[in-house]
Amino acid sequence: MTGKESRKTDESGLRLAVAAVLLGLRAGPGHVLAQFVGSVLVGAAPIAVAWLTKLVIDTLVAARPERLVTVVRLVVALSVVGIVAAVLPQLGRYLNEELNRRVQLIVQQRLYLAVERQPGLRRLEDPRFHDRLRLAEQSGRDGPSQVLQSIAGLTQSGVTLGGFVITLFALSPVITLTVVLAALPVFASEMSLSRRRAAVLWRIGPTERRAFFYTSLLTDLQAAKEIRLFGIGAYLRGRMLDELRTSNRFRRRLDLRVLRTQGTLALLSATVSGGGLLWAAAEARSGRLSVGDLTLFIAAVASTQGTLRGLVTSFIGMHQAILLFDHYQAVVRMPPDLPVPAPTRAVSPLSEGIELRGVWFRYSDDQPWILRDLNLRIPRGQAVGVVGRNGAGKSTLVKLLCRFYDPQRGSVLWDGVDIREFDPAELRTRLSVVFQDFMCYDMSAVENITIGDLTAAADRPRIQAAAQRAGAHEALLALPRGYETVLSRVFFDGDDRDGALLSGGQWQRVALARALLRETSDLLILDEPSSGLDAVAEHEIHTQLRAYRAGRTSLLISHRLGAIRDADRIVVLSAGRIVEEGTHDTLIAAGGGYAQMFTLQASGYQDSAGLAGEPPSLARPRTA
Ligand SMILES: Nc1ncnc2c1ncn2[C@@H]1O[C@H](COP(=O)(O)OP(=O)(O)OP(=O)(O)O)[C@@H](O)[C@H]1O
């Protein structure tokens, strides 16, 4: 069982930085190199400008006519430096954006591959994992370029700073030392702010997730009916705004801290430069500094301070990016949520049957047992029906057969082999399942069926045969674009033929067709396959399914007892245990819970319709 997501992993900052740089280099080595060279040049530009300006001023002050050519040369050199310094950052921005786009492709592919590699459902059930995934997407996409940009910024600032510190030191060692020392508190406070920023982002994760949930609920088509009927729009909006206010409170607190810290630091920096300026003016007045020296001094103090600030900003940007890049690394390196042995055992075609032996299962240690010492055999070629009240554990049983979870005790055996020895993906290719909460994909009708077996994509007769068996064929043919019609209005673009909406029962037939497309599967599982169907459709589909199932291994779950009465064996599940078991006839003869349930359904049907025949359902109706 996997634990809850914690904020930090144990990767060191250096390793994270290296990983981010490697990711950037993989996405665009040329872009990275060009940015690096560009930063050295841009870093050297202010020093060149300051020295060239000093030389121009000193030459002009000397006022010798023969020096005019020198002045022109210096001015031309100044212009060239200015042009280079202006153009290179633009080019750098373009390269950085392009690098970002390339990194994003790699990051999305790696992140979603990592999610896909999770064999079970536990990880996706952990809300903190979703927070981490969101931060991982953001930090994976921006992190490498931020780190690289910070390294470029550090290089640029380092070059500029080196030049100015030497210049300034030649003019006044004391002031140089003061300016440099004044940068230390800036560095320390920015580091602390950076850590706090990362912690706040993690802290407000659940709040922002809830705000997003309410926002999407307010525009969700399925939710719209109840929201309007119950008039809960304002209530949901209020809750969304409450969550946003909470997250704003945290962000505001952080912003205020930033304001306080940076305001104090700006004051310190202004005091230092003001003091320096006073000293330089006094020196110039007494003739110890030339006018050129004075301008050089002013430029050097301003640039040293600015560059130190830039240096700190770059370093902090890198620190912040690395702290968040931790989330990306954690996702791409997360271990599987179910143990998968290496090498796995090949899944052979089912020859004897599937067995749940002494299975105990609960969703987590602090929740009650859902299945308790369950023993169930599904022999090859037979149909086993499972019935039971709501919450008895029927769908949970299906999830264990698909190995979405492992039982805490006992095992699920495939021809006597524990399914934990198989590759879960391979095991699942041998199963056809209609889940109780099946998916309705906003895709075309044909895609909605083909998803059941992508190898059938080009085999239209096979797809139509599956639709026919599920009783969906006629309804799909009648759609505006037949099987090509998109079963959604999400992509509606003005043309009424762009999409169509199906009824709940029609969707159920499409989901059934999807499962039936897997003709070669060894086990067919139908969890409430007909709860949304009308009586005529249910009768037709069951007759067809009965013929289709003949000789196949199947597990049928239904609240409509008429739907499973012809199963080879029926088990009654209650509170995670099998309490009755036999054929329909033996169970009726035994006069237990099954017989009572059947009689209740049959009498209800007779009372309400005055007709004998299929009993009505005890299931909750599915919302369309
Ligand atoms: N992912 C989950 N995490 C925690 N508890 C769960 C989860 N899924 C189901 N449960 C709990 O397990 C119990 C059994 O659920 P299950 O869906 O297996 O019942 P069921 O017999 O299929 O019920 P129904 O007839 O209503 O479909 C329920 O109490 C349910 O709340």
ipTM of the complex: 0.98
Which pLDDT belongs to residue 624? 32
pLDDT tens digits, residue range 273-288?
788 788 878 888 888 7
- Contacts of 78-87 with C-beta under 8 Å, sequence gap 24+, read 78/49, 78/52, 78/53, 81/45, 81/48, 81/49, 81/52, 82/45, 82/49, 84/41, 84/42, 84/45, 85/42, 85/45, 85/46, 85/49
Top mean pLDDT of 79-93, 184-198, 479-493 is at 79-93
Query: Does the pTM of the predicted model rise above 0.90?
Result: no
How would you class 279 by CB atoms within 10 Å of its CB: exposed for 0-12, middle for 13-18, buried for 19 or more? middle
Handedness of CA 257, 260, 266, 269 (dihedral sign): negative
Closest CA to 434 of 576, 572, 557, 562: 557
Are residues 324 and 406 both part of a single domain?
no
The yes-or-no verdict on residue 546 having pLDDT over 90 is: no
Top mean pLDDT of 63-77, 181-195, 473-487 is at 473-487
What CATH number does the domain containing 321 carry? 1.20.1560.10
What CATH number does the domain containing 423 carry? 3.40.50.300
Which pLDDT belongs to residue 3? 46
Are residues 425 and 447 both part of a single domain?
no
Which pLDDT belongs to residue 612? 41
Identify which of 2, 124, 395, 528 to mutate to test ligand 1's pocket (most ligand atoms within 8 A of the CB). 395
Residue 396 alpha carbon to ligand 1 centre in Å:
6
Identify which of 363, 437, 558, 571 to mutate to test ligand 1's pocket (most ligand atoms within 8 A of the CB). 363
Are residues 380 and 475 both part of a single domain?
no
Question: 7 lies in a domain?
Answer: no
**E-state strands within 83-155:** none
Residue 549 alpha carbon to ligand 1 centre in Å:
27
Quick one: average pLDDT of 469-483?
91
H-helix segments, 459-592: 460-469, 473-477, 504-516, 535-549, 561-564, 584-590
- CB neighbour burial string for 143-162, b if at least 16 within 10 angstroms, e if fewer: bbbbbbbbbbbbbbbbbbbe
391 CB less than 6 Å from ligand 1?
Answer: yes
Residue 400 alpha carbon to ligand 1 centre in Å:
12
pLDDT grade for 49, boundaries at 50, 70 and 90: confident
Are residues 113 and 233 both part of a single domain?
yes
Residue 361 alpha carbon to ligand 1 centre in Å:
11
Please tell me the residue having the least CA distance from ligand 1 atom 4. Answer: 363
pLDDT tens digits, residue range 577-609?
999 999 999 999 999 889 988 888 877 666 554
Geometric angle at alpha carbon 316, from 180 and 192, rounded to 5°: 90
Are residues 504 and 527 both part of a single domain?
no
- When comparing pLDDT for 6 and 490, which is higher? 490
Residue 362 alpha carbon to ligand 1 centre in Å:
10
Are residues 226 and 118 both part of a single domain?
yes
**Span of 86-100, 137-151, 277-291, 594-608 with lowest mean pLDDT:** 594-608
Which pLDDT belongs to residue 532? 67
Are residues 172 and 317 both part of a single domain?
yes
Top mean pLDDT of 176-180, 188-192, 386-390 is at 386-390
Residue 81 has a CB neighbour count (10 Å cut-off) of 19
The span from the CA of 135 to the CA of 206, in Å, is 12
Amino acid at the residue 589:
A
The yes-or-no verdict on residue 613 having pLDDT over 60 is: no
**Span of 158-167, 427-436, 490-499 with lowest mean pLDDT:** 490-499
Task: Give the strand pairing for 383-388 and 569-574.
Answer: parallel
Residue 359 alpha carbon to ligand 1 centre in Å:
16
Instruction: Domain count for the chain, please give it.
Output: 3
H-helix segments, 172-290: 173-203, 205-218, 221-230, 233-285
397: left (phi over 0), alpha (psi -120 to 50) or beta: alpha
Let me know: does 126 contact 318? Beta carbons within 8 Å. no
pLDDT grade for 57, boundaries at 50, 70 and 90: confident
Let me know: does 430 contact 521? Beta carbons within 8 Å. yes
Are residues 511 and 535 both part of a single domain?
no
Quick one: average pLDDT of 285-295?
79
The span from the CA of 425 to the CA of 444, in Å, is 25
Which pLDDT belongs to residue 291? 77
395 CB less than 6 Å from ligand 1?
Answer: yes
What atom of ligand 1 comes closest to residue 392's alpha carbon? 21
Please tell me the residue having the least CA distance from ligand 1 atom 2. Answer: 363
* Segments forming the whole domain that contains residue 573: 347-430+521-624
Phi, psi values for residue 524, rounded to 5°:
-105, 125
Residue 393 alpha carbon to ligand 1 centre in Å:
6
Quick one: average pLDDT of 348-354?
94
CA distances to 14, 100, 311, 362 from 32, rounded to whole Å, are 19, 11, 19, 51
pLDDT tens digits, residue range 319-331?
888 888 889 999 9
Question: 474 lies in a domain?
Answer: yes
Are residues 194 and 271 both part of a single domain?
yes
Q: What percent of the chain has pLDDT over 90?
A: 38
435 CB less than 6 Å from ligand 1?
Answer: no
The yes-or-no verdict on residue 403 having pLDDT over 80 is: yes
Query: Mean pLDDT of all residues in the chain?
Result: 85
Question: 341 lies in a domain?
Answer: no
Are residues 96 and 227 both part of a single domain?
yes
Query: Six-digit token pair at 316?
Result: 């902090």
Phi, psi values for residue 521, rounded to 5°:
-70, 155
Quick one: average pLDDT of 431-440?
91
Residue 584 alpha carbon to ligand 1 centre in Å:
25
CA distances to 58, 560, 599 from 607, rounded to whole Å, are 111, 17, 12
What atom of ligand 1 comes closest to residue 389's alpha carbon? 25
The yes-or-no verdict on residue 120 having pLDDT over 90 is: yes
Q: How many residues can be counted in the chain?
A: 624
Are residues 358 and 312 both part of a single domain?
no
